[in-house]
Amino acid sequence: MRNRRNFTLIELLVVIAIIAILAAMLMPALAQAREKARQTACTANAKQIALGVLMYVDDSEERFPVMYRARTGIGGIGNPNYDYWPMMVMPYLGNTDIFVCPTRKMGYYSWSFLGYGYNYYYLGSPYGGHPGTGCTKVARIKTPGETLLLADGRGRTNGSTMGPYGPYIYSGQVCYPGRPAHYYVSNCHMDGTNVAWCDGHVERMGYRAIQSRADLWDLN
């Protein structure tokens, strides 16, 4: 009978090292694949929200929703005295989960953790003196396919999780050069941002590209 030869310790260590190297090579690819799946889910969320906003516009004399208004009912999100724009479009959506970006791993819907920012400054500002004061009508937007409606929102960058608007309500302050970095768009998708436009289509843009293009937010 032949003697069965066992693995030596060195051979075993070599096999383990090879497995570790292969795993290290595969992990980045797997991580990218997972993020791509999250990005795709986020794109679908932004698309649904954009279509909900446009249905709201159709039923509201062609006007976009205001960022917030005095509350008319009970419940909802945010400051108890106000209704925010997601609450206005919610009847056209019916699913609160779509306001949660999968990449941010926010496991619940809350006014403090909305994943998408609304271009309130130009479309539905509650403040006087802004282009969107009084809620913009569709006819004022010259190029809807090139005018930002909403995008992945970063929210407050000072660590605050509360406030009158909540960290992830809107991203319009990108149009304020030199202002504090609150409510900027997020680079959560591999240094990119999902953007929904006023004609309802959605695309991914590089973070630096959108941060340097204030013209994408205006009505021209």
Would you list the domain boundaries of the chain? 9-216
Q: Which two tokens stand for residue 201?
A: 């289509």
In eight-state DSSP terms, residue 126 is: S
β-pairing, 184-185 with 192-197?
Answer: unpaired
Distance of CA 157 to CAs 133, 184, 195, Å? 26, 9, 20
Whole-model pTM: value is 0.75
pLDDT for residue 164 is more than 50: no
Q: How high is the mean pLDDT of the chain?
A: 76
Q: Which two tokens stand for residue 145?
A: 């396919």
* Section 167-179 average pLDDT: 47
- pLDDT classification of 216: cutoffs 50, 70, 90: confident
pLDDT at 162: 43
How many other C-beta atoms can be found within 10 angstroms of the C-beta atom of residue 23?
A: 10
Q: Which two tokens stand for residue 126?
A: 């509650």
pLDDT at 186: 72
Residue 185 phi, psi (nearest 5): -65, 160
Maximum Cα interatomic distance, the chain, rounded to a whole number of Å: 95
* Section 145-155 average pLDDT: 84
> How far apart are alpha carbons 24 and 19 in whole angstroms?
9
Strand stretches in the chain, DSSP E: 68-70, 82-84, 116-118, 148-155, 184-185, 192-197, 202-206
> How far apart are alpha carbons 172 and 21 in whole angstroms?
45
Least confident of 5-9, 13-17, 153-157: 153-157
pLDDT at 26: 66
**Integer Rg of the chain from CA:** 23
Tens-digit pLDDT profile for residues 17-55: 878 877 777 666 666 778 788 888 889 999 999 999 999
pLDDT for residue 206 is more than 90: no
pLDDT at 6: 65
pLDDT at 3: 57
Tens-digit pLDDT profile for residues 56-85: 999 999 999 998 888 766 555 556 677 788
pLDDT at 177: 45
